[in-house]
Amino acid sequence: MTIHQTRGAALKESYEWILHHPQFQRWCNNNNNNNNNNNNNNSQVLWIKGDPGKGKTMLLCGIIDELGPTTKLEDPLAKTFLSFFFCQATVPKLSNAHAALRGLVYMLVDTQPSFLSLIQKKFKENGEPQFGDMEAWAALCVMFLNILREASSDRIYIVVDALDECVQDQDKLLQFILQGTREFPHVKWIISSRNHVEQRTRLDDSQSILSLELQENAESVSVAIGAYISDRIAELESLQNDDALLEYVQQTLQKKAEGTFLWVALVVQELQHVDSWDVEQVVDDVPTGLDDLYARMIDQINKLAGKSREYCQLVLSATALAYRPLQLLELGVVSGLPDKIAGNANNIETIVKRSGSFLTIRDKTIYFVHQSAKDYVIEKAGLSIFPSGSMAAHGRMFTKSLQVMDKVLRRDMYSLGALGTPINQSQPPPDPLAVARYSCVYWVDHLEQSGSYEELQVVGTVDAFLRSRCLYWLEALSLFRSVTDGIMAIQKLGALLQGRSGAAGLQDLVQDAYRFIRYHRGAIEDSPLQAYGSALVFSPPRSMIKQLFQQEGPNNIIAIAPQMADDWDAHTGACLQTLEGHDSYVYSVVFSHDSSRVASGSEDKTIKIWDAHTGACLQTLEGHGSYVYSVVFSHDSSRVASGSDDKTIKIWDAHTGACLQTLKGHDSWVNSVVFSHDSSRVASGSEDKAIKIWDAHTGACLQTLKGHDDWVKSMVFSHDSSRVASGSFDKTIKIWDAHTGACLQTLKGHDDWVKSVVFSHDSSRVASGSDDKTIKIWDAHTGACLQTLKGHDYWVKSVVFSHDSSRVASGSFDKTIKIWDAHTGACLQTLKGHDREVNSVVFSHDSSRVASGSFDKTIKIWDAHTGACLQTPKGHDSWVNSVVFSHDSSRVASGSEDKTIKIWDAHTGACLQTLKGHDNWVKSVVFSHDSSRVASGSDDKTIKIWDAHTGACLQTLKGHDNWVKSVVFSHDSSRVASGSFDKTIKIWDAHTGACLQTLKGHDREVNSVVFSHDSSRVASGSFDKTIKIWDAHTGACLQTLKGHDDWVKSVVFSHDSSRVASGSDDKTIKIWDAQTGACLQTLSIGSSVINLSFDATGSSLHTNIGIVSLRDSPAPTPTNSTDATASELQSLRASQLSQSPEYQGYGISSDRFWITRRSQSWLWLPPTYRPTCSAVGQSGLALVLGCRSGRVLIFGFVPDDSN
- HEC letters along 283-328: HHHCCCCHHHHHHHHHHHHHCCCCCHHHHHHHHHHHHHHCCCCCEH
pLDDT of the residue at 32: 54
Q: What's the whole-number mean pLDDT along residues 387-415? A: 95
Q: pLDDT band at 1203, cuts 50/70/90?
A: low
Helix, coil or strand: residue 765 = strand
Which amino acid is located at 817 in the chain?
A: I
Integer Rg of the chain from CA? 36
Domain definitions of the chain by residue range: 3-222, 389-557, 575-867, 1001-1108
Question: How far apart are alpha carbons 1160 and 1149 in whole angstroms?
Answer: 8
| Number of alpha carbons in the 13 Å side-chain half-sphere of residue 1022 | 25
Alpha-carbon distance of 483 to 485, in angstroms, equals 5
- Can you give the pLDDT at residue 844? 84
| Superfamily the domain 3-222 falls into | P-loop containing nucleotide triphosphate hydrolases (3.40.50.300)
- Mean pLDDT score, 1170-1175: 86
Beta bridge partners of 673: 684
Instruction: Count other Cβ atoms within 10 Å, centred on residue 1186.
Output: 29
3-state DSSP assignment of residue 1119: coil
The model's confidence at residue 573, banded by pLDDT at 50, 70 and 90, is low
pLDDT band at residue 196 under the 50/70/90 scheme: low
Taking residue 68's Cβ as centre, other Cβ atoms within 10 Å add up to 16
How far apart (Å, rounded) are the C-alpha atoms in residues 1003 and 126?
39
Closest CA to 381 of 497, 296, 255, 490: 296
CA–CA distance, 934 with 976 (Å, rounded to integer): 11
Q: Taking residues 323-352, what's their average pLDDT?
A: 93
pLDDT-based confidence at 129, cuts 50/70/90? very low
| Between residues 962 and 276, the one the model is more confident about | 962
In this prediction, residues 493-505 reach a mean pLDDT of 87
Report the pLDDT value the prediction gives residue 856, as an integer from 0 to 100: 82
Q: Could you give the count of Cα atoms lying within 13 Å of 433 in the half-sphere of its Cβ? A: 24
Predicted confidence at residue 561, as pLDDT, reads 73
What's the pLDDT band for 327 if we cut at 50, 70, 90?
Answer: very high
The C-alpha atoms of residue 1039 and residue 985 are separated, in whole angstroms, by 15
Asked if residue 1066 lies in contact with residue 1045, where contact means CB atoms within 8 angstroms, the answer is yes
Q: Can you give the pLDDT at residue 579?
A: 86
| pLDDT over 80 (residue 850) | yes
* Domain at 1001-1108: CATH architecture: 7 Propeller (2.130)
What pLDDT score does 1172 carry?
Answer: 85
Q: How confident is the model at residue 771 (pLDDT cuts 50, 70, 90)?
A: very high
Of 212-226, 275-289, 674-688, 952-966, give the range with the top mean pLDDT: 952-966
Q: What phi and psi, each to the nearest 5 degrees, are found at residue 1149?
A: -70, 165
Give the C-alpha separation, 415 to 1182, whole Å.
29
For 939-1058, list the strands marked E by DSSP: 942-947, 953-958, 964-969, 975-980, 984-989, 995-1000, 1006-1011, 1017-1022, 1027-1031, 1037-1041, 1048-1053
Mean pLDDT check: name the lowest of 665-669, 1011-1015, 1147-1151, 1198-1202.
1198-1202
**Separation CA 93–CA 585 (nearest Å):** 36
CB of 670 within 8 A of CB of 629? Answer: yes
Q: Is 1001-1108 in the same CATH topology as 575-867?
A: yes
| Mean pLDDT, residues 11-17 taken together | 88
Residue 418 has pLDDT above 80, yes or no: yes
The yes-or-no verdict on residue 1139 having pLDDT over 60 is: yes
| pLDDT of 869 | 32
Q: Would the pLDDT of 353 be above 70?
A: yes
User: How wide is the angle at C-alpha 106 spanned by C-alphas 101 and 112, nearest 5°?
Assistant: 130
State the pLDDT at residue 357.
Answer: 85
Q: pTM score, two decimals?
A: 0.76
Distance from the first to the final alpha carbon of the chain: 44
Q: Residue 361's beta-bridge partner residues?
A: 366
Residue with the bigger pLDDT between 716 and 1133: it is 716
Q: What is the pLDDT of residue 203?
A: 60
pLDDT attached to residue 156: 92
pLDDT of residue 488: 93
pLDDT above 50 (res 893): yes
User: Order of strands across the sheet with 1059-1064?
Assistant: 1048-1053, 1059-1064, 1068-1073, 1079-1084, 1138-1139
- 458-467, 906-915, 970-979: least confidently modelled range: 906-915
Q: Tens digits of per-residue pLDDT, 1066-1114?
A: 999 999 999 999 999 999 888 888 778 888 888 888 887 788 888 665 4
pLDDT, position 1136: 44
Q: Report helix, strand or coil for 237.
A: helix
| pLDDT value, residue 192 | 93
Q: Is 70 exceeded by the pLDDT of residue 574?
A: no
3-state secondary structure of 391: helix
Are 1164 and 522 in contact, with CB atoms under 8 Å apart? Answer: yes
pLDDT value for 1116: 44
pLDDT band at residue 1115, thresholds of 50, 70 and 90? very low
Please report the pLDDT score of residue 257 as a whole number. 87
Pairing relation of β-strands 807-812 and 796-801?
antiparallel
Cβ atoms < 10 Å from Cβ of 586: 30
Under DSSP, is residue 1108 helix (H, G, I), strand (E, B) or coil? Answer: strand
Q: Does domain 575-867 have CATH number 2.130.10.10?
A: yes
Rounded Cα distance between 97 and 94, Å, is 8
Q: Is residue 345 within 8 Å of residue 331, measured between CB atoms?
A: no
- Grade residue 134 by pLDDT with cuts at 50, 70 and 90: very low
Distance CA 1197, CA 684 (A): 55
Round the average pLDDT of the chain to a whole number and report it: 87
Residue 844 and residue 305: Cα distance in Å, rounded? 59
Gap between the Cα atoms of 645 and 624, Å rounded: 8
The single-letter DSSP state of residue 233 is: H
SS (H, E, C) 190-221: EEEECCCCCCHHHHHHCCCEEEEEHHHHHHHH
Asked if pLDDT for residue 1003 goes beyond 50, the answer is: yes
Are residues 965 and 980 in contact, defined by beta-carbon separation less than 8 angstroms? yes
Among 96-100, 644-648, 741-745, 1095-1099, name the one with the lowest average pLDDT. 1095-1099
- CB-based contacts of 132, cutoff 8 Å, min separation 6: none
Helix or strand (DSSP H, E) at 1062: strand 1059-1064
CA 606 distance to own-chain centroid: 14
Identity of residue 619: Q
Residues 992-997 have a mean pLDDT of 94
- pLDDT band (50, 70, 90) for residue 1121: very low
How far apart are alpha carbons 969 and 958 in whole angstroms? 16
- The predicted pLDDT at position 173 comes to 87
> Is the Cβ–Cβ distance between 364 and 349 less than 8 Å?
no
pLDDT of residue 1135: 47
DSSP for residue 1169:
G
The Cα–Cα gap between 53 and 47 comes to 17
Kind plus residue range of the DSSP H or E element containing 833: none
Per-residue pLDDT of 30-47, as tens digits, reads 765 444 444 444 678 999
Model confidence at 124, in pLDDT bands (50, 70, 90)?
A: very low
**Residue 430: cis peptide before it, omega within 30 degrees of 0:** yes
Confidence of residue 1132 (pLDDT cuts 50, 70, 90): very low
Considering 544-548, 656-660, 1113-1117, the range whose residues carry the highest mean pLDDT is 544-548
The secondary structure of residue 549, as a DSSP letter, is: T
